[in-house]
Structure 1
Amino acid sequence: MNKLTIKDIAKKFNVSISTVSKALNDSYEISDATKEKIQKYAKENNYKPNFNALSLKNRSTKTIGIILPTMLNYFFAQVFNGIEKTALERGYKVITCISNESYDKELEIIEMLSNGSIDGFILSMSKETEINANFSHFQETIENGIPIVMFDRVASAIECDKIITDDFNGALNTVEHLYKSGHRKIGFVSTLSNLHIGQQRFLGYKKGIETVGLPFNEEYVINIIDTDYKKYEEILSPFLKKNKLDSIITTGESAAVASMKAALKLGYQIPKDMSVIAFSNGILARHSSPKMTTISQHGELMGETAATILIDRLENKLTDFTKKVIKTDLVIRDSSK
């Protein structure tokens, strides 16, 4: 008889994979009745998590699993380059999967690759996983002897190696830079306010405003959540028109490009009337018109660091978990004074 999987249980009760996972992990999000019948069925049918990892612990595949939350963000492509380069140099192959910001997809990928296909994971959490704080699949993976290195979006509740950007100081330093360049009406555009990295960037901005002695004005902050980037421009146009800002910091490049387009249509000249600075330092920034000033997160370095740490751990060169913070730099181009 084939081994019972989470998918089989989901099919049996006509629920999602994540519901089964939560029920098996005794999550408070699932009703007791549902939990009880799923747990009972799993027990009766001798369900074991699909991690043969324990028996495979000593069998090295020299392969690393990479899970990225999206392909639409150039930052993740930079991280991937860094991981792949370092992995190849050290004799490892990589398998790359995209979770598309979905918890179910992320869980499916981890289950699929944890059957002996890979030795360890490098991953950045999906938006759904972070917002719902569903981390049990990471814990289970680590307990089964498969190490995880998290980057950029990390779960503080999980004990593993982590590499993050210094988001807070990145934003704070940018406010100070704008202030020194003569800006006084500094706005903040966030498309990540429901994620920790977005919150850190906002707190850095707020602290920066305070540090330079400007009054904090809530009107100068706009949060755009779960909106298609094609709609950013029409959302930003009234925001810019109303506040007559002389500069803005955005949490990503798409929002910065949309801000510039909206500002130009309102008759602003960039950077004469308004400076625009974005987090990340990708293709959009170099090809936008004017070329965009960015807060570089050094994606490639982040990837190299993640791969080095994971491989060192796989080769028993590490004992304690590490948390590395990658400092940001301001790359000045034509969109700021």
Structure 2
Amino acid sequence: MKKIALKDIAANFGVSISTVSKAVNDSHEISKELKEKIQKYAKEHHYRPNHVALSLLKKNTKTIGVIVPNILNYFFTLVFYGIEKTANSRGYSIISCISDESYLKELKTVELLSTGTVEGLILSLSEETQAKGNVEHLQNLIENQIPLVMFDRVSEEVDCDKVVVDDFEAGYKTTKHLLKTGCKRIVIVSAIYNSSVGKLRVDGYKKALKENGVEYDERLIVEVRKNDDLQLLISLLLDNKEIDAIIALDEITAVDTLNILKSKDIEVPKEISIVGFTNGRLSKYVSPALTMVSQHGQYIGEQAANILIDRIEKEGDMPYTTKLVKTSLIERDSTKKILGNSSSY
């Protein structure tokens, strides 16, 4: 027999999950008539409350969980810094975990943290979770009234608070900037091709090409898998295509690409321009310094932490919110300049 959840009861009566929870827990806030109807329905359908989740609701641990997919990506390091800084200022501690882009690890970590250890979760989906499209483990959190804020890589199937980067616009404006510098054969090198953010950036890239009358060539989208040799991929690309710009969708790939081009005596940006994503320290100190798209990771972390803690501390139903964060182009020496203009952003 399929286990009935709070959301199923709520849907039957046309009320909120919060109302159902109060009714099954015999709260005085619910009218006697509605409470009896909900309790009867729950009993008839063999509803069993999640005692762990209920104990979490009643216990003030002053701790929140954070799950990021990849700590080697400097963007997630910045987000975590913003979360920790804000949480600490509001009297909360952090338990941080890494899913390592694995669905199974993410699933097990969510289950572990939702056993009463933390009062809420901040999470960015692993690439494998997004590829599978299975977010049942997160829907269970919402059904059991465990506060959740998703950031960067999110799912529209989960009703919760979200903080997202305008990745479509970032891909669009970055490509548009390169086109204005005279580049025409622009490559995207992506190690996050299965993620929502990677796909949105490529979509923005396509729009910019179309608007400027440049034909889209799928061969210029280089997908870098976990065990791929980036040097080999870039070498094959250079052998077969006359390219004049590369957009790398993360910082490490951008730095590696720069070093590969330099090893082949290709002048950057005279022959090929390079733009990367995430304005980390590495990009500033390589030569030439890399032009980067800043996603404002620390600010995203601060926003996510404040939204989660507000939801934990405020009683009553709060509407879910989605905050959209714009990116900025940090121009350095790895791209040509636009004549008569400093930036297209």
Cα pair distance change 1:51/1:234, threshold 3 Å: farther
Matched residue SS, 1:52: helix
| Residue number in structure 1 paired with 2:19 | none
> What is the alpha-carbon distance in structure 1 between the residues aligned to residue 225 and residue 49 of structure 2?
35
Q: Give the corresponding residue for 2:120.
A: 120
* Structure 2 length-normalised TM: 0.80
With 318-327 and 304-313 compared, the bigger mean Cα shift is at 318-327
Offset, 1:185 = 1.9
Q: Is the 8 A contact 2:50 2:144 kept in 1?
A: no
**1:79–1:300 CA contact under 8 A, matched in 2:** yes
Assess if the C-alpha contact under 8 Å between 1:164 and 1:325 holds in 2.
yes
Q: Which residue of 2 aligns with 1:333?
A: 332
Q: Which residues of 2 match residues 299-310 of structure 1 at below 5 A?
A: 299-310=297-308
- Residue 91 of structure 1, CA deviation: 1.2
Q: Which residue does 2:263 correspond to in 1?
A: 265
Instruction: Give how far 1:133 is off.
Output: 1.6
Please say if residues 240 and 263 of structure 1, whose CA atoms lie closer than 8 Å, have aligned partners that are also in contact. no
- 314-323 or 114-123, which deviates more: 314-323
The structure number with the bigger radius of gyration is 2
Query: CA 1:204 to 1:49, structure 2 compared with 1: closer, same or farther past 3 Å?
Result: farther
Deviations 1:62-103 (A, max 9, x none): 111011112211111000000011111111111111112222
Residue number in structure 2 paired with 1:89: 89
Query: Which segments of 5 or more consecutive residues in structure 2 lack a partner in the other structure?
Result: 5-45, 337-345
Supply the distance in 2 between the matched residues of 1:187 and 1:175 (Cα, whole angstroms).
Answer: 10
Contact kept, 8 Å, 1:51 with 1:114, in 2: the verdict is: no
Structure 1 pair 295–51 and aligned structure 2 pair: CA distance change class (3 A): farther
C-alpha contact (below 8 Å) 1:167/1:200 kept by paired residues: yes
CA RMSD of superposed structures (Å): 2.1
Q: Who is 1:43 aligned against? A: none
Letter in 2 for 1:61: T
Q: For residues 243 and 118 of structure 1, what CA distance do their matches in structure 2 show?
A: 52
Q: Shift in Å at residue 240 of structure 1?
A: 2.1
Per-residue deviation, residues 209-248 of structure 1 (Å, max 9, x unmatched): 11222222223222223335xx212211111232121111
CA drift of 1:128 comes to 2.1
Q: Is 1:312 aligned to 2:310, yes or no?
A: yes
Confirm or deny: 8 A CA contact 2:55 2:116 kept in the other structure.
no
Shift of 1:269: 0.5
Contact 1:150 / 1:162 at 8 angstroms: preserved in 2?
A: yes
Task: Give the aligned residue type for 2:282.
Answer: L
Specify the code of the residue in structure 2 equivalent to 1:242: N
Q: How far does residue 277 in structure 1 lie from its aligned partner after superposition? A: 0.1
Which position in structure 2 is the counterpart of 1:252? 250
| 1:279 is aligned to 2:281 | no
Superposition deviation, residue 24 in structure 1 = 8.5
**SS where residue 222 of structure 1 aligns?**
strand
The corresponding residue for 2:23 is none
Equivalent runs, 1:1-337 vs 2, <5 Å: 52-227=52-227, 231-316=229-314, 319-337=318-336
Question: In the TM superposition, what is the alpha-carbon distance from 1:304 to its structure 2 partner?
Answer: 0.5
Unaligned 5+ segments in structure 1 are 1-22, 26-45
8 A contact 1:271–1:335 mirrored in 2: yes
Counting aligned pairs with the same residue, the percent is: 44
Q: Which residue of 1 aligns with 2:13?
A: none
Letter matched to residue 113 of structure 2 = L
Alpha-carbon distance between aligned partners in 1 of 2:173 and 2:51, rounded to the nearest angstrom: 45
Shift of 1:288: 2.2
Rounded to whole Å, the distance in 2 between the matches of 1:207 and 1:81 is 34
Cα displacement (A) at 1:50: 7.5
Q: What CA distance in whole angstroms lies between the structure 2 residues aligned with 1:331 and 1:273?
A: 20
2:56 and 2:262 mapped to 1: Cα distance?
Answer: 59
CA distance in 1, matches of 2:49, 2:109: 14
Q: TM-score, normalised by structure 1?
A: 0.82
| Kept in 1: contact 2:74–2:251 (CA 8 A) | no
Question: In the TM superposition, what whole-angstrom CA distance separates every residue of 1:135-189 from its partner, at most 9, and x where no partner exists?
Answer: 1111111211211100111111110011111111101111111111122222221
CA distance in 2, matches of 1:246, 1:51: 60
> Does structure 1 retain, via aligned residues, the 8 Å contact 2:150–2:162?
yes
State the shift of 1:55 in Å. Answer: 3.0
> Quick check: 2:73–2:252 contact (8 Å CA) kept in 1?
no
- The answer on whether the counterparts of 1:152 and 1:163 sit within 8 Å (CA) in structure 2 is yes
The answer as to whether partners of 2:127 and 2:192 remain within 8 angstroms in 1 is no
